[in-house]
């Protein structure tokens, strides 16, 4: 008789999730909450699966102690409390439930939308104080108003559909989502400036990454319509809180609703003194239904994985054999670099990605290589974890169609990987190979032959082939105190002589001032910086 898998639940989850696991005849379930790291290290060695929420930290020592541990499940969105790299290194699959509370967060957004429009918290406080002044709380109808949604993932799309049901005009901005995906959710694609200028309500549903930190700052708030209202149920760092306080105090914005803050809980916040802002304590996932949904979803994922090995929604990689890993790893690393490069060269959302394998590499299973190219494209565009397990799912969610092709024949190289991306009707293509079967080399960008190691910080230009361009680039980089470790001026492989490229490996990222200087060179048409 097969021994039952053992599951440890280390944080409270909804009883429906626990009952689902207990109903599986080949799973043994224990509950032990409130364990610190030492307690979990002592307890974990005999368990095959661990389920947590946000309180318990699954650290590297915990993972190292998990001699039998095969899977860790987080009943919630984030995995900040789980050492995912340590788990991946040990071949331990990590699951989360990113979409299980999407409906709840979308509904909270709509609740804030209505609350701001009708001054509900202020009216409630007024009645409780003994006043009866309905004329003081004249509100605004939502029907016919415009709502701008920044970030069009699962939650943004649910908000769009609900606002459309309220007869609102819906605008959406997300640089990585195709317009037809927006149209399916009753939204009109718009650039960020146009959205801010046209919207009566602006609601944020984008990830918190370096590029979105303080996305709504003083300058962006100034672009918003006088009397507009701002809602943030995503992440606190998306909004410059001081700039928002100023706009609310001056009356440029009529109101704001915040469920998230830079510091949580917000202590002695200037928002407390303002009557035109509604504050809630990070309630996005705080409904009975959401708690049940995340618990049941993680229980289902854990049970399915333990029984069948299925890991479609995992946030990292399952274990693969050392032989297979040894054969594919160099090509996967090359494909990742090529995917990241073609993503950097693509201006806007990518609609199609094609991975072509030539020569000896075509004899291998292309799926992990294609998946790693997708990881390279997506990992700088999305906030959540992206890996070979979930890359295809995330790509489809962004409206990216992807395919692969094989050919045993390879011109000039024993093996060659080519990655092409279509963005706004323009195709960018890069190609690379392995020297000696191990060392990656970038060998082509579009029709230009190059030869460089795809690692580190790069400056790329497309420019007219005229004297002085390379010297000017070198002077600008010198003024930026940047060392050049490698430089390659590309030659058009099709024999053209009017255009050229420069691919320069630099010691650290170039500043905005330096980029502006490069763009100002008369011969330069395109400037891109990236890290491989």
Sign of CA dihedral 78, 79, 85, 91: negative
* Cα gap 105→294, rounded to integer Å: 13
* Cα gap 30→22, rounded to integer Å: 9
Looking at 15, 125, 141, 264, which residue is catalytic?
Answer: 264
| End-to-end Cα separation, the chain, in angstroms | 50
| 282 carries an active-site annotation | yes
* Cα gap 88→139, rounded to integer Å: 53
Secondary element (H or E) of residue 430 = strand 426-435
Q: Is 491:449 a contact under the CB 8 Å cutoff?
A: yes
Looking at 235, 340, 356, 463, which residue is catalytic?
Answer: 235
* Cα gap 65→44, rounded to integer Å: 7
DSSP annotation of 83: -
Q: Is 378:177 a contact under the CB 8 Å cutoff?
A: no
Q: Is 440:434 a contact under the CB 8 Å cutoff?
A: yes
Q: Helices then strands (H, E): number in the chain?
A: 17, 22
User: Could you tell me the CA-to-CA distances from 434 to 63, 321, 325, 454 in Å, in that order?
Assistant: 34, 22, 16, 11
* Cα gap 419→435, rounded to integer Å: 18
Structure token pair of residue 461: 């230009």
Dihedral of the alpha carbons of 491, 497, 501, 502, in degrees to the nearest 10: 70
Nearest to 22 by CA among 303, 301, 307: 303
- Residues in a beta bridge with 437: none
* Cα gap 194→188, rounded to integer Å: 11
Looking at 282, 406, 457, 486, which residue is catalytic?
Answer: 282
| 14 carries an active-site annotation | no
Q: Which residue has the tokens 């963005």?
A: 423
Q: Which residues are catalytic?
A: 235, 264, 282
């Amino acid at each position: 008789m097969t021994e039952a898998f053992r599951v440890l639940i280390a944080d409270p989850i909804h009883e429906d999730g626990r009952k689902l696991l207990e109903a599986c005849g080949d799973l043994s379930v224990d509950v032990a909450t409130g364990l610190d790291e030492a307690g979990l290290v002592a307890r974990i060695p005999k368990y095959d699966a661990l389920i947590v929420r946000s309180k318990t930290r699954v650290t590297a020592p915990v993972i190292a102690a998990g001699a039998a541990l095969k899977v860790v499940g987080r009943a919630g969105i984030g995995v900040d409390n789980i050492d995912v790299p340590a788990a991946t290194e040990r071949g331990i699959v990590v699951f989360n439930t990113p979409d299980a509370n999407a409906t709840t967060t979308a509904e909270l957004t709509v609740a804030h939308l209505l609350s701001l429009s009708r001054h509900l918290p202020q009216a409630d406080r007024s009645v409780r104080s003994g006043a009866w002044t309905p004329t003081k709380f004249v509100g605004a109808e939502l029907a016919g108003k415009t709502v701008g949604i920044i970030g069009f993932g699962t939650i943004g799309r649910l908000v769009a559909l609900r606002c459309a049901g309220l007869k609102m005009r819906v605008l959406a901005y997300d640089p990585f989502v195709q317009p037809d995906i927006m149209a399916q959710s009753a939204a009109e694609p718009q650039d960020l400036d146009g959205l801010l200028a046209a919207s009566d309500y602006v609601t944020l549903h984008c990830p918190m990454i370096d590029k979105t930190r303080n996305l709504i700052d003083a300058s962006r708030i100034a672009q918003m319509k006088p009397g507009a209202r701002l809602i943030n149920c995503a992440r606190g760092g998306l909004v410059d809180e001081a700039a928002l306080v100023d706009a609310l105090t001056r009356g440029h914005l009529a109101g704001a609703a915040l469920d998230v803050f830079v510091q949580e809980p917000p202590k002695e916040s200037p928002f407390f003194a303002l009557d035109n802002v509604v504050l809630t304590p990070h309630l996005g996932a705080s409904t009975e239904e959401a708690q049940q949904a995340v618990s049941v979803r993680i229980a289902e994922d854990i049970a399915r994985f333990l029984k069948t090995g299925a890991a479609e929604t995992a946030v990292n990689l399952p274990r693969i054999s050392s032989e297979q890993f040894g054969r594919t790893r160099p090509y996967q690393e090359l494909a990742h670099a090529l995917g990241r490069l073609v993503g950097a060269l693509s201006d806007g959302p990518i609609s199609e990605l094609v991975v072509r394998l030539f020569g000896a590499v075509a004899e291998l299973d292309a799926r992990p290589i294609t998946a790693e190219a997708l990881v390279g494209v997506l990992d700088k565009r999305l906030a959540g974890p992206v890996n070979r397990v979930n890359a295809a799912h995330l790509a489809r969610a962004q409206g990216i169609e992807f395919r692969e092709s094989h050919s045993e024949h390879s011109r000039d190289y024993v093996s060659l990987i080519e990655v092409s991306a279509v963005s706004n009707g323009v195709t960018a293509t890069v190609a690379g190979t392995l020297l000696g079967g191990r060392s990656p080399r970038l060998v082509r960008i579009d029709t230009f032959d190059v030869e460089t190691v795809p690692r580190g910080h790069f400056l790329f230009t497309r420019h007219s082939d005229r004297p002085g361009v390379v010297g000017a680039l070198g002077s600008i980089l010198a003024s930026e105190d940047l060392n050049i470790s490698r430089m390659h001026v590309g030659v058009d492989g099709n024999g053209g002589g009017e255009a050229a490229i420069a691919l320069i490996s630099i010691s650290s990222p170039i500043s905005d001032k330096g980029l502006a200087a490069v763009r100002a060179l008369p011969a330069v048409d395109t400037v891109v910086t990236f890290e491989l």
